[in-house]
């Protein structure tokens, strides 16, 4: 049975993604932030937080964190796992929390789910509006090459144990739609004989695509780098990380 993206998947997402290095990503982001002069702790907003994997790492590092996601199913899992954190529903392109943060993050190629530059630009403007002067936005995106060649062989498959017993069998296949310029993932999951399919789409964004959108969102300086060594990306880089600073307050 086909389901909308990030609905049925929420219940098995953490099992399938158990090896994701959220802790290393958090170290990568917070090291850059510290070296750039940001306070080591403060108020953070984790966009497209999903089930809270990265949100939790920021909390563990001493940050006061709010998580935001468009999927109520993913947020329900996040609240179950992390009941002491604040999670709110919101569209990346339109959210308005009425407050600002020292750090805004959006990881695990979540922004690639925005399928037009206009939508990505809107999300960057909303992120910028929620940063205090001198605050930092940190996010990663798959490049165009990364979306075209997502996995070797075009598929991943495996079994993952579930916390309450049993296991989930997953088979995710990928193809690139040349006409639309989109990567398409068909995510099939089977639990105790019941199965569902979600279809996810991503658009790749290269540094040359990102820079005018960052400028249009009101950022004046940024770095676009590779993980984990902050090296400049090359034409063969499949995923880049972006660190963009909100302008300081005028005297």
For the four alpha carbons of 15, 16, 21 and 22, in that order, the dihedral sign comes to negative
Question: Cα Rg for the chain, rounded, in angstroms?
Answer: 18
What is the residue-level pLDDT of the chain in tens, covering all 251 positions?
899 999 999 999 999 999 999 999 999 999 999 999 998 899 999 999 999 999 999 999 999 999 999 999 999 999 999 999 999 999 999 999 999 999 999 999 999 999 999 999 999 999 999 999 999 999 999 999 999 999 888 999 999 999 988 999 999 999 999 999 999 999 999 999 899 999 999 999 999 999 999 999 999 999 999 999 999 999 999 999 999 999 998 77
Query: pTM value?
Result: 0.97
DSSP string for 102-147:
EEEEE-TTGGGGS-SHHHHHHHHHHHHHTEEEEEEEEEEEE-HHHH
């Amino acid at each position: 049975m086909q389901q909308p993206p990030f609905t049925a998947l929420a219940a098995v997402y953490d099992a399938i993604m158990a090896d994701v290095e959220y802790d290393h990503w958090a170290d990568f982001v917070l090291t850059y932030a510290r070296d750039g002069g940001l306070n080591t702790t403060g108020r953070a907003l984790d966009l497209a937080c999903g089930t809270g994997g990265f949100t939790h790492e920021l909390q563990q590092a001493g940050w006061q964190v709010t998580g935001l996601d468009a999927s109520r199913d993913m947020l329900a899992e996040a609240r179950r796992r992390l009941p002491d954190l604040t999670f709110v529903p919101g569209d990346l392109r339109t959210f308005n929390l009425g407050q600002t943060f020292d750090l805004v993050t959006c990881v695990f190629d979540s922004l690639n789910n925005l399928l037009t530059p206009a939508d990505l630009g809107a999300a960057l403007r909303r992120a910028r509006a929620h940063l205090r002067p001198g605050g930092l936005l940190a996010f990663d995106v798959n490049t165009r090459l990364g979306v075209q060649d997502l996995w070797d062989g075009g598929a991943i498959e495996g079994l993952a144990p579930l916390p309450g017993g049993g296991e989930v069998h997953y088979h995710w296949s990928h193809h690139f739609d040349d006409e639309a310029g989109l990567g398409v993932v068909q995510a099939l999951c089977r639990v105790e004989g019941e199965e569902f399919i979600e279809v996810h789409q991503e658009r790749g964004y290269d540094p040359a695509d990102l820079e005018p959108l960052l400028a249009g969102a009101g950022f004046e300086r940024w770095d676009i780098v590779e993980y984990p060594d902050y090296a400049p990306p090359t034409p063969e880089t499949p995923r880049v990380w972006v660190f963009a600073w909100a302008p300081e307050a005028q005297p």
